[in-house]
Structure 1
């Protein structure tokens, strides 16, 4: 059988620096950079293999595209696909469970180091001539903070949380962890959420978005934290009640926040965090180093190969 493969939104994974050859070797391939909702069905057409990243595949779409035999998601999260509707039609949905662990942990610390040292700001000021005109041999505009001896509390101590913990240890930080599943011999101290809130100088979110974690950072939990705490989130935006965090940043209860995700992406112009004090916001790029995207592409191709060989892997709707 000559398979027809369509990629509905390939641009963010591959803006031109990777190759689609792995997929094209498996069938007739059509790649779209982006697909608007009105075009989803027509672009799927008679394709039996559909690959998506963030383009939604609803129950209605799945039922109106009878040729679909396989859905591949170019991400770990798969909430864009109605997995139950796919299951009812015998269509496996396969995701990419692990590809950017170290990249995401690295980015969490990139945000933290920018908060503690403000490297970009001071470099900009030097280039504006301030150092040249300075009467002193140095200057700084913000408090500079050493991480040695500080405590980081990591909510969600899976692969990414553990990778962040290893980096924190290298900086001489104490690592506290909260997770419903405790890893044996973990290089961290497991504590309750309340203890983590009370003792942490930095809190990093690396937990999945479930009903019980949605809004886990809110005015009540922030009230339990140290004054001047730093909050990092490059997991999922809805883990944070954004108005509550903005209020805490503006009052100084939270010293700073580093966020690579927000509740609605792209970020809306009225998001209160855009005008909050000491808030770094980046456009969901923790996952995006070329190395991790190359790994993602390879796993996505292997997922499809497994399906075509009758041995599907990483199926989320079995």
Structure 2
């Protein structure tokens, strides 16, 4: 199959279309392609223009622009969809396979950035950094009459238990960082499944016993809303929930109820189900809560991680044109 794709692709000058170049910052340089080609770069592509823009493409690059079966129906030349991210839910992989089109993605590029961001969120919540900063800005320190004040809780990380959901590169990297701080780390088994070996603890046990819970799983039908009202009811009242993985892993309405009802100690998210977050999103009700932090899906976005992503993206494409398939995604 690889040889056939290569022969077809090299029968003419390949045309490449990048549907959402703006998802990679302008200061990040893309390496040159190692073959003769034509390239169309679009900062973004609305859904109604996807089919038109990929119609004559041999290779399409997308990060968040959805490529579905309908848009693929006009792309008779398409041989590779290169996803410039790890998540693959934006592409109908099965429809691509039926058409003989390879799908590739980016892997293990943010093994420092995402865990460090998760740890930063843990520090911020555990030590109440944001509410203390906001209160100083509001004049509370001057009003206190003391060298310090104790309006918000502060707890050490040492000897606390970190429950990690997802034992891949990111979850494992966070575990290493946490152990260096003297934290106890446990990996949760999949919800509703028995632990596969001694390195995992039952899902419900991790929910109930962890001081901090951090999510590092893909969004699938099995993981959607894996944390909802029943899980919040079983967590420690002081527990913190961290999500730098995917919106949809947590029932967002249930999280709002848990924070407002003081069922848990706090939460910090970098992802939501709809991005950018609309004004009607449930999390808008939590924006003034001192124990809730929301960042705009930037856990992955250290300059080093983005450059690694960009380099791997171009390497995947260059390799494909040489006849080598890297990071292929299957349905």
* TM-score, normalised with respect to structure 1: 0.92
8 Å CA contact 1:122, 1:140 repeated in 2: no
- Residues 105, 166 of structure 1: alpha-carbon distance in 2 compared, 3 angstrom cutoff: same
Q: Residue deviations 1:94-139, cap 9 Å, x none?
A: 0012211211101111111111223344344445554455521123
Equivalent residues in 2 for 1:1-318, closer than 5 Å: 1-13=12-24, 15-23=25-33, 27-127=37-137, 129-132=139-142, 134-179=144-189, 190-276=200-286, 277=289, 278-317=291-330
8 Å CA contact 2:163, 2:186 repeated in 1: yes
Deviation at 1:268, TM superposition (A): 2.4
Deviation at 1:263, TM superposition (A): 1.5
8 Å CA contact 1:259, 1:282 repeated in 2: yes
| Cα RMSD, aligned residues only | 2.1
8 Å CA contact 2:55, 2:74 repeated in 1: no
The 3-state SS of whatever aligns with 1:2 is coil
8 Å CA contact 1:214, 1:238 repeated in 2: yes
Q: Residue deviations 1:253-301, cap 9 Å, x none?
A: 1110000111221112222222134221111111111110100011111
In the alignment, the residues of structure 1 paired with residue 59 and residue 129 of structure 2 have an alpha-carbon distance, to the nearest angstrom, of 46
Deviation at 1:207, TM superposition (A): 1.5
8 Å CA contact 1:242, 1:273 repeated in 2: yes
Q: Greater RCO between the two (CA within 8 Å, min separation 6)? A: 2
**Stretch deviating more after TM superposition (19-28 or 146-155):** 19-28
- Deviating above 6 A after TM superposition, structure 1's stretches of 4 or more consecutive aligned residues are 181-184
Unmatched segments (≥5 aa) in structure 2: 1-11
In the alignment, the residues of structure 2 paired with residue 63 and residue 43 of structure 1 have an alpha-carbon distance, to the nearest angstrom, of 13
Q: How many residues align?
A: 314
The 3-state SS of whatever aligns with 1:261 is coil
The 3-state SS of whatever aligns with 1:38 is helix
Unmatched segments (≥5 aa) in structure 1: none
- Residues 173, 297 of structure 1: alpha-carbon distance in 2 compared, 3 angstrom cutoff: same
In the alignment, the residues of structure 2 paired with residue 123 and residue 25 of structure 1 have an alpha-carbon distance, to the nearest angstrom, of 53
Deviation at 1:305, TM superposition (A): 1.3
In the alignment, the residues of structure 2 paired with residue 287 and residue 115 of structure 1 have an alpha-carbon distance, to the nearest angstrom, of 20
